[in-house]
Structure 1
Amino acid sequence: MQETVVNKDNIPGALDWCVEQLRQQTVIAYPTEAVFGLGCDPDSETAVMQLLAFKQRPVEKGLILIAADYSQLKPYIADHALSVAQREKMFSSWPGPVTWVLPALPDTPRWLTGRFDTLAVRVSDHPLVQALCQKFGKPLVSTSANLSGQPPCRNVEEVLQQFGAHFPVLHGETGGRLNPSEIRDVISGDIIRQG
């Protein structure tokens, strides 16, 4: 009798399975530093619109991209517009829970920037976010995993309660932080949201 070999990497909740969902333009949930995030392929208008529909969030508000390293963000941001001091200040907080608002490149999709000519970006220090972005090969759209009016999800069970038992979620723990990431403007240095 032949044994069936189960590929543990390709079962729901595993990293490889979640990357496959992203490649199919599906929205997934995954743990970040403080809460679970909803994410998708930033280059797929279909996926981003699906994510905005889940969140009941208007496209004009713009979104955050989360990445494994700065090079993943360069196709979307006007890196050349930053001074050495601005870049150093940003890099001193990364990888970590600080989101920076940077000038966006002119061809960065409006479904990411919304009504702005800037884009909010973060290089995460969460090991599962790092692994997800590395394996996917680019950054992810990142917004807190919660339905409008509901508290952000802090574990897999809460994600499944809010979004349904079959919602694709990367199994793992959050980084244990209480507050979502701080958001700062790289040009002015202003704090937009306290961390």
Structure 2
Amino acid sequence: MSDLSNTPTAITCLTQGEVILYPTEAVYGLGCDPDNQQAVEALLAIKQRPVEKGLILIADNYGQLLKYVDDAKIPMDKRADIFSSWPAAITWVMPASKNTPKWLTGQFDTIAVRVTNHPTVKRLCQEFGKPLVSTSANLTGQETVISIDQAKAQFTEQVGFYVDEALGGNTQPSTIKDAMTGKIFRG
């Protein structure tokens, strides 16, 4: 029997402030602990993405997102649209909690959040006990990587762990909608 105690896992890497690569509904994503500023800054550096743009959080359930969302500001008449759309590849831009760090919201007073139905991401969020930062695995403005081999060639040692599991089968990244107005930012 081999000793796997020193074998890194995605959860170990997340806990240690590293960036991981994992499958989402349509594309591979780069993710990290949303509460670890150094991890988020490392992810932004890998992606060459300015902090001002803000980031998406992906979760197993809405309860994992409550720390980051100002739930009281979401009108009752909007809740049915939001909660009936999940779990799915629909990201909602919601009012951010006053305690949500600017390294997540960027220049905005909102936070983009998604409750996923992808089994791998659900498992990662359950095991980690909170949401992950989720952004497409590419350099800003370039095509998203389409395989683990391509990801390893592009990101090499910058990524602490590569979760080599299947994509969710969607052909487009998640739809992004404004929770307050219903406006579609990405369809």
TM-score, structure 2 length as denominator?
Answer: 0.94
Which amino acid in 1 is paired with 2:67? P
1:5 aligned to 2:2? Answer: yes
Q: Could you report, residue by residue, the CA deviation over 1:59-87 in whole angstroms, capped at 9, with x for unpaired residues?
A: 11000000000000000001111122211
Identity %: 52
Equivalent residue for 1:51, pick from 27, 43, 47: 43
Instruction: Specify whether residues 149 and 84 from structure 1 end up closer, same or farther in structure 2 by C-alpha distance, changes over 3 A only.
Output: closer
Q: What TM-score results when the alignment is normalised by the length of structure 1? A: 0.91
Residue 10 of structure 1, CA deviation: 6.9
Equivalent residues in 2 for 1:13-162, closer than 5 Å: 17-162=9-154
Q: 1:155 touches 1:174 (CA, 8 Å); kept in 2?
A: no
Q: Measure, in 1, the Cα distance between the counterparts of 2:77 and 2:123.
A: 29
Q: Give the total of aligned pairs.
A: 186
Task: Identify the range of structure 1 (45-54 vs 80-89) with the bigger mean alpha-carbon deviation.
Answer: 80-89
Q: Which of 147, 163, 168 in structure 2 is aligned with 1:170?
A: 163
Tell me if the contact between 2:93 and 2:111 (Cα under 8 Å) persists in the aligned partners. yes
CA RMSD, Structure 1 to Structure 2 (Å): 1.6
CA contact (8 A) 2:46 2:158 kept: no
Query: For residue 165 of structure 2, what is the amino acid of its counterpart?
Result: G
State the distance in 2 between where 1:165 and 1:177 align.
Answer: 28
2:106 corresponds to which letter in structure 1? G
Structure 2 unaligned residues grouped into runs of 5+:
none
**Cα pair distance change 1:184/1:166, threshold 3 Å:** closer
